[in-house]
Amino acid sequence: KLDVKVLRYMSSDEFRVLTAVEMGSKNHELVPLTLIAQIAGLRHGGSHKIIGELAKKNLVAKIKNAKYEGYRLTYGGYDYLALKTFVKRGSVSSVGNQIGVGKESDIYIVADESENQLVLKIHRLGRVSFRAIKSKRDYLQKRKSASWMYMSRLAAMKEYAFMKVLYDNGFPVPQPIDQARHCVVMELIDAYPLRQISEVKDPGKLYSDLMNLIVKLAQYGLIHGDFNEFNILVKDNGDPILIDFPQMVSISHFNAEWYFNRDVECIRTYFRKRYNYESMLYPKFKLDVNR
């Protein structure tokens, strides 16, 4: 799906035109060819030929509305622009296998200039129904006609910002490396999601590590909001790493206690059902979170 060959065989004129489509998208849902030519600074005929080539490579899509013929950037084109930025900065120099398809993202193994393996997470909002996303994410409620590009870029920026704050404060999350457009580059964690682990060596230890993590986060002012077996990787030594936090809320949120209890309950239920592990001990918002 992420066609790396396209990256190699792209002329500078093609790149100019693609960038022009992106710039035009800021105030046009459908970017008119005349505007594309104007931004790219090419003759109209020149842009026409090049945009045809970009369309063939699925980097832009040609769309006709009632008034005019225009183009919009595709996810492929947006991926290309983000990758180009990472390559220029040296944070990515090659793209490897896809290792995950999340609900709202694609995950690839990539390598940087020094051949360190990293993870590239490409946010793909708008792939599931808009309503489903809208109900979950407060920042969208402020913007009625948010486009998929805008939503995905916002998700990536938010993820990178949270990951940086958490990482810098000693929380077990992947090290954030770089961010551009709808993409985040981060440390590759050598571990499997809790969901895929049928036998945990010491369920009591992992259970209390996870509960402590929920409490530590809350003492820091944050509630994960979706603390579940898909978002937790467990390393060989048993240590958990939190990989995904799209719905983080503040402990001053009016429903904070409800979110906190839901995260706690999610882990309790999972350990009971999956590992037949139950503990009398679990954190309580009022007792364990100093406000």
> What residues act catalytically?
226
With contacts defined by CB under 6 A, name the span among 4-12, 184-192, 254-262, 280-288 that binds ligand ADP: 184-192
Q: Is 243 in the site for ligand ADP (CB under 6 A)?
A: yes
With contacts defined by CB under 6 A, name the span among 2-10, 67-75, 79-87, 98-106 that binds ligand ADP: 98-106
Out of 119, 166, 180, 267, the residue judged to bind ligand ADP by CB under 6 A: 119
- For the bound state, the minimum distance from the C-beta of residue 126 to ligand ADP, rounded and expressed in Å, comes to 13
In whole angstroms, what separates CA 261 from the centre of its chain? Answer: 25
User: Using the 8-state DSSP alphabet, how is residue 238 labeled?
Assistant: S
Residue 186 and residue 119 in contact, taking contact as beta carbons nearer than 8 Å: yes
- For the bound state, the minimum distance from the C-beta of residue 280 to ligand ADP, rounded and expressed in Å, comes to 31
First to last CA, the chain: 47
Q: What are 63's strand-pairing partners?
A: 70
Out of 15, 150, 230, 277, the residue judged to bind ligand ADP by CB under 6 A: 230
Q: Is 193 in the site for ligand ADP (CB under 6 A)?
A: yes
Q: Is 275 in the site for ligand ADP (CB under 6 A)?
A: no
Q: Which of 67, 72, 58, 57 is nearest to 23 (CA)?
A: 72
Nearer to ligand ADP, 24 or 172 (CB): 172
| Neighbour-count burial for 223-244, b at 16+ CB within 10 Å, e otherwise | bbbbbbbebbbbeeeeebbbbb
Nearer to ligand ADP, 208 or 247 (CB): 247
With contacts defined by CB under 6 A, name the span among 15-23, 41-49, 65-73, 181-189 that binds ligand ADP: 181-189
User: Using the 8-state DSSP alphabet, how is residue 188 labeled?
Assistant: P
Give the span between the Cα atoms of 220 and 92, in whole angstroms.
Answer: 32
Q: What are 249's strand-pairing partners?
A: 223
Nearer to ligand ADP, 46 or 102 (CB): 102
Give the span between the Cα atoms of 31 and 115, in whole angstroms.
Answer: 38
The pairing of strands 105-111 and 117-123 is antiparallel
Task: Pick out residues in 131-170 that bind ligand ADP (CB under 6 A).
Answer: none
Out of 186, 210, 213, 234, the residue judged to bind ligand ADP by CB under 6 A: 186
Residue 176 and residue 160 in contact, taking contact as beta carbons nearer than 8 Å: yes
With contacts defined by CB under 6 A, name the span among 12-20, 96-104, 204-212, 260-268 that binds ligand ADP: 96-104
Tokens of 117: 């393996």
Nearer to ligand ADP, 15 or 230 (CB): 230
With contacts defined by CB under 6 A, name the span among 65-73, 75-83, 87-95, 187-195 that binds ligand ADP: 187-195
Out of 32, 46, 102, 203, the residue judged to bind ligand ADP by CB under 6 A: 102
Q: Please give the angle made by the CA atoms of 285, 287 and 291, to the nearest 5 degrees.
A: 70
Q: Is 103 in the site for ligand ADP (CB under 6 A)?
A: yes
Q: Is 122 in the site for ligand ADP (CB under 6 A)?
A: no
With tokens 């938010």, the residue in question is: 158
Residue 201 and residue 122 in contact, taking contact as beta carbons nearer than 8 Å: no
Out of 25, 47, 91, 105, the residue judged to bind ligand ADP by CB under 6 A: 105
- Residues engaged in binding ligand ADP (CB under 6 A): 99-100, 102-105, 107, 119, 121, 174, 186-189, 193, 230-231, 243-244
